[in-house]
A and B are shown apart, each in its own frame.
Chain A
Amino acid sequence: MTDHTVTDALPELPCQDLVEVVTDYLEGTLSDVDRRRFEEHLEVCVRCVAYVEQIRLTIGATGRAGAHPDALPAELRDGIRAAFRDWAA
Chain B
Amino acid sequence: MSKPAETTAAAQADAAELRLVERLRGKDETAFMEIVDAWGPSMLRLARQFTPSTAVAEEVVQETWLAVLDGIDRFEGRSSVKTWVLRILVNRAKTRGARERRTVPFAALAGEESGGDFHAVAADRFLTEAAKYPRHWGSPLPRWEAQPERALESAETLALIRSAIDELPPAQRTVILLRDIEGWDGPQVSNALDITETNQRVLLHRARSKVRAALEADFASAA
Interface, chain A (partner B; CB < 8 A): 14-17, 19-20, 22-24, 27, 29, 45-48, 50-51, 53-55, 57-73, 76-77, 79-81, 83-85, 87-88
B27 at the A/B interface (Cβ < 8 Å)? yes
Q: Does B220 have its Cβ within 8 Å of any Cβ on chain A?
A: no
B199 proximity list for chain A (CB < 8 A) = none
Given A61-B157, A73-B58, A84-B29, A15 contacting B137 (CB threshold 8 A): yes
The reply to whether B29 and A70 contact each other, CB–CB distance below 8 Å, is: no
Q: Indicate if B145 sits at the interface (CB-CB under 8 A).
A: yes
Q: Are A63 and B181 in contact (CB under 8 A)?
A: yes
**Which of A46, A62, A85 interacts with B29 by CB under 8 Å?**
A85
B41 x A70 contact (CB < 8 A): yes
Interface residues of B (CB under 8 A from A): 27, 29, 32-33, 36-37, 40-42, 44-45, 58, 61-62, 65-66, 69-70, 118-121, 123, 126, 133-137, 140-145, 152-153, 157-159, 161-162, 165, 176-177, 180-183, 186, 201, 204-205, 208-209, 211-212, 215-216
21 contacts between A and B (CB under 8 A): A14-B126, A15-B135, A16-B136, A20-B118, A23-B204, A53-B143, A54-B212, A55-B209, A58-B211, A65-B158, A66-B162, A66-B180, A66-B181, A67-B181, A71-B40, A72-B41, A76-B61, A77-B40, A80-B65, A81-B33, A84-B69
**Given A15-B126, A47-B137, A65-B161, are A76 and B201 also a contact pair (CB < 8 Å)?**
no
Per DSSP, are chain A's interface residues mostly helix, strand or loop, or mixed?
helix
In contact, B41 and A71 (Cβ under 8 angstroms): yes
B137 touching A48 by the CB < 8 A rule?
yes
- Can you name the residue of chain B whose Cβ is closest to the Cβ of A79? B62
Q: Which of A62, A69, A70 contacts B176 (CB 8 A)?
A: A62
Distance from B123 Cβ to chain A, minimum over Cβ atoms (Å) = 7
Contacts A15-B135, A27-B186; is A62 near B161 (CB within 8 Å)? yes
Looking at chain B's contact residues, the main secondary structure is helix
Chain B residues with CB under 8 A of A48: 137
A87 with B41: CB separation less than 8 A: no
B158 touches which one: A23, A64, A87 (CB < 8 A)?
A64
Chain B residues within 8 Å of A65, by CB: 157-159, 161-162, 165, 181
Q: Nearest Cβ in chain A — how far from B93, in angstroms?
A: 15
The answer to whether A62 and B211 touch (CB under 8 A), given A23-B201, A80-B36, is yes
List residues of chain A with CB within 8 A of the CB of B152: 57, 60-61
| B100 vs chain A, min Cβ distance (A) | 18
